[in-house]
Amino acid sequence: MTVIESHILAAIRRIPRAKVSTYGAVARAAGYPGNARRVAAALHGSTGLPWHRVLGAGGEIKLRGDFAFEQKFRLQSEGVTFRGRRVNMRQHEFKFPAAKRRAR
DNA sequence: AGGGTGACGATCA
DNA sequence: ATGATCGCCACCC
């Protein structure tokens, strides 16, 4: 568990129920702008997180196959509405408080 | 050290 | 909308 990873996971845990965010936004909120890929990687190897509340830019589901179905199902269960593969961000995006960049 | 990788993102044809 | 391309960056050989 690296420090960057712990910061990223902490940010993800702050996303409230029925709200969503994006890989890029989580990276910025954790203090690591430009590290969207780290967010995805951290998510991939962790458990017990609201992983389904993290989407690609524009509110698009980036997973494919069964995982994509699972994510959509979980979100809809929380009341998040979809327009095809995307969620209405105007309505469901969680706005993180501004965060400062962290040292790498 | 150097090259490949990816649940990314922005841009363009 | 869809696919290609390029920029990006920590990880893992």
Of the candidates A59, A63, A53, A67, the one whose C-alpha atom is nearest the C-alpha of residue A17 is A53
Of the candidates A85, A20, A86, the one whose C-alpha atom is nearest the C-alpha of residue A51 is A20
What's the angle, vertex CA A12, arms to CA A72 and CA A35, rounded to 5? 100
Q: Which of residues 52-91 of A touch strand B (CB under 7 A)?
A: 52, 54, 56-58, 62-63, 67, 71
Specify the nucleotide whose C1' lies closest to residue A63 (CA). B7
pLDDT tens-place string over residues A20-41: 999 999 999 999 999 999 999 9
pTM score: 0.95
Q: For residues A47 and A42, what is the distance between their CA atoms, to the nearest angstrom?
A: 10
Q: Compute the mean pLDDT over every residue in chain A, rounded to the nearest whole number.
A: 95
Specify the nucleotide whose C1' lies closest to residue A62 (CA). B7
For residues A26 and A98, the answer to whether their CB atoms sit within 8 Å is no
Specify the nucleotide whose C1' lies closest to residue A35 (CA). C9
